Structure 1
């Protein structure tokens, strides 16, 4: 018979926020932004996810990530295990990286963040590889769940706040990097942000754009503070394959309309569940895609999620909090798998 300490014992039902990170390095970034990390819990054998538990702004939060392979099917499986094991989760996030789509209306740069938010034509996630094409039309098929209304309202309020103050990305990422020297990979890259014209392909065999012709870049005005990432909201396009062709990217946008970002997992989650998807921009969904910005982009997405969580209402007292309150009243409480909860006066022991 196993007995848990009243000072450390928590149940799966004490966790009300769930975060799925699309990569291990994204999970690492988020892990080191927690206020506190908790001991692990026993989970069902059928649940193959690996979890990191902790707290953030008074909320108990559970983190997990994909097991190496990515895509809509993997995303759906991971989300299902998370929700079945942690049944009290109310706020759910999918946090990762993606390829940004700059336009005249959306000045998206590397290191920025896109939050998948609905508009009049979609739920915030567009599954562009599930469609019907004929000679006259390009029609998307299937139903996807929009983000939860409560989280959407928080995002709108946060975006409004950012019109008068800086977002928290730089603050949170700097704190994380300073916490551990080994996290310097997550610092903002010093390489120049280049957005190439759609008809100019990457130099074959090169891992960076050092030998690409800079005269083929799209001219963009310098930002007044180029080291500060911005947060954008709008539709995110999702499919099972990586978008690495500027021509295909632009053709998809021509057919489906406004898109701010391309990624690979959100549609798999949104088919079954209501998540808020947050993508750090690590490339421009073209042949010039490389890994230089992916660590910082993952950290920026984690920081944005952390700022959203900071705006959530304080949670109801958890079982752990009730244990502490009862203890302060002179009661001793214990829990065993065999008998459940037991509350007795300390003097009776």
Structure 2
């Protein structure tokens, strides 16, 4: 048995979202150490930012594919792990009061991407949702619910239905799989609208 090392003794962290990734990572190690105590943040990239904010019935992230099929629809069951108290204590202190709107390619939910490639040139610009221009290039930080699953969300109708039902602002892969093993504050950069116009 190896004695547990302090957090400062480590220089690299490898976070695996899927069990198969963790298995491959462990197979490469010479020794397995007990997990240290640490401050956990899982951060994605993008223009605007959504910080997972816990609510009365969720921990800030919901796994929208976790549940059971019932006549007439899908019933979500269970919740993910709660955030560590130290992260809960810091969320409100990070809150931003700025409320800006971005101008970009947000199409109406009923309008699907016009071509198989990632180019917007063939899309009908008359189908863009009107937005107010932003007077700054700085990102805006939102504190809302993040939805996660093991599949990419590229359907605007499903996106809108789930967002309206649960108050979701952001869809992300892998966060739910990490939350049960490694309770963390999820900070996700918004880089697309989770619709058919989504680009890599």
The reply on whether 1:158 has 2:94 as its aligned counterpart is: yes
Q: Equivalent residue of 1:235, what SS?
A: strand
Which residue in 2 is equivalent to 1:218? 129
Residue 211 and residue 85 in structure 1: after superposition, are their counterparts in 2 closer, same or farther (change >3 A)? farther
The reply on whether 1:94 has 2:33 as its aligned counterpart is: no
Which consecutive segments of 4 or more residues in structure 1 shift more than 6 A? none
Which residue in 2 is equivalent to 1:279? 188
**Which structure's residues are more often helix, by fraction?**
1
The reply on whether 1:111 has 2:21 as its aligned counterpart is: no
**Is residue 72–residue 239 contact of structure 1 (8 Å, CA) maintained in 2?**
no
State the 1:63 CA deviation: 3.2
Residue 274 and residue 230 in structure 1: after superposition, are their counterparts in 2 closer, same or farther (change >3 A)? same
**Is residue 72–residue 266 contact of structure 1 (8 Å, CA) maintained in 2?**
no
The reply on whether 1:15 has 2:4 as its aligned counterpart is: no
State the 1:235 CA deviation: 1.0
Residue 257 and residue 199 in structure 1: after superposition, are their counterparts in 2 closer, same or farther (change >3 A)? same
Residue 210 and residue 12 in structure 1: after superposition, are their counterparts in 2 closer, same or farther (change >3 A)? farther
State the 1:152 CA deviation: 2.2
Whole-angstrom CA distance in 1 between matches of 2:128 and 2:20? 36
Larger Rg: 1
Which residue in 2 is equivalent to 1:202? 113
**Is residue 72–residue 267 contact of structure 1 (8 Å, CA) maintained in 2?**
no
Which residue in 1 is equivalent to 2:157? 247
Q: Deviations over 1:49-99 (max 9, x none)?
A: xxxx2xxxxxxxx43255xxxx65457x38x96xx74632321122225xx
Q: Structure 2: where are the runs of 5+ without partners? A: 27-31
Q: Equivalent residue of 1:143, what SS?
A: coil
Q: Structure 1: where are the runs of 5+ without partners? A: 1-10, 17-37, 42-52, 54-61, 98-109, 165-191, 292-349
Higher relative contact order (CA 8 A, sep 6+): 2
Whole-angstrom CA distance in 2 between matches of 1:148 and 1:218? 39
Which residue in 1 is equivalent to 2:145? 235
Whole-angstrom CA distance in 1 between matches of 2:114 and 2:33? 47
Q: Deviations over 1:300-325 (max 9, x none)?
A: xxxxxxxxxxxxxxxxxxxxxxxxxx
Q: Equivalent residue of 1:271, what SS?
A: helix
Q: How many residue pairs are counted as aligned between the two chains?
A: 188
TM-score (norm 2): 0.80
TM-score (norm 1): 0.48
Residue 249 and residue 72 in structure 1: after superposition, are their counterparts in 2 closer, same or farther (change >3 A)? farther
The reply on whether 1:64 has 2:14 as its aligned counterpart is: yes
Whole-angstrom CA distance in 2 between matches of 1:137 and 1:244? 19
State the 1:155 CA deviation: 2.0
Residue 258 and residue 73 in structure 1: after superposition, are their counterparts in 2 closer, same or farther (change >3 A)? farther
